[in-house]
Structure 1
Amino acid sequence: MEKEFQGEEEFAAMSFYQLEDVLFGLEIGPEGDCVQALSRCEYKGTEALTMDEEYHLMRKQVEETEGFDMDFTQFRYGFNYKPVDFGDNKLVPDGETMRGLLDRLSRKSLELYNDGKATSYEFLEVSKANYHMAGAGVMYFITFLAKQDSSDDPKTFQAKVHYSCIDDNKYLTCEEKCSLH
């Protein structure tokens, strides 16, 4: 069974569904000690930033985009917020692909949006997604395209979904992307 939050009170009470603080990623080094993780993205920064500068830049991007539109190529270090690799199926159930999972979560988010707004948007495709681990699951920040009928231009939507390994998925937000994001 899928669950949608109905009110702000319930949402506020579930603080682990809100934006998570930015944290540096850690990996186990060759001698068994924890070391800073490096970003898995191709670094395209014009100049190397210090760890503190990268941390503050990541925090700024998370806050300004609410987790959706971050430029991970600006970072040498890895953080808890990461871009989804559509070819990596480690975080999905057996028999499903990452793309299939994100399509399914997006379709359900859009269905709840349509029910609440009395609209009839149809899902087209996921264009990108970010995530961070959250409790016994994964918080996904999914950007996807949808349109109302065949003559309309596609609209960009953003959905925040907590995908759980042991509980119902939580469909937290689904909104048409505003031009500020």
Structure 2
Amino acid sequence: MDIHHRIAHRLRELRDAQGLSLDALAERSQVSRSAISLIERGQSSPTAAVLDRLSSALGVTLASLFEEGAAPAAEPSPVARAADQPEWTDPGSGYVRRNLSPAARSPIQLVEVHFPPGQRVAYDTGVRDTEVYQQVWIVEGTMEMTVGDAHWRLAAGDCLAMQLDRPIVFHNPTQRPARYLVALTTVASVGWRTK
């Protein structure tokens, strides 16, 4: 199954599991009903920002949209072979993300990102129903990251920890590609939080 059909299947599965209509998910995510329908049919290549809005509205991480989906009858393997790790390219920026984590359920998800020179990706993430934390470890190159009002310039070896509860911008300000590892974990929130 190619990556667009995997995303389509997974998005539909998550929406159905929560009993959400296309209209309800559109209202929650601020992504149009027609755009969601095209994504679910595998007829659209959504940007990272659109996938982030959808994952936030569904209460899952962006990396969850690239998973296989419903657990098979047998226990999933604790090993994710490189050849089987789904890879996706953002049509807006050209950044490439590879989900490294195996299908076996774990509270941690690992993602490797190759980020092209001069590109920028902005996520309008706000407060979620579940708390999502991530750490970004720069393997090669330089990345500028803005989390809410805070801004950092990160070089190889630097690591930034954050909660995904405010807008985030990833920017490669250089003429060289960057590569980094993202580690994510989700904690269910208790009740409604206000900021």
TM-score of the alignment, normalized to the shorter chain, above 0.5? no
TM-score by length of 1: 0.25
Q: Which has the higher strand share?
A: 2
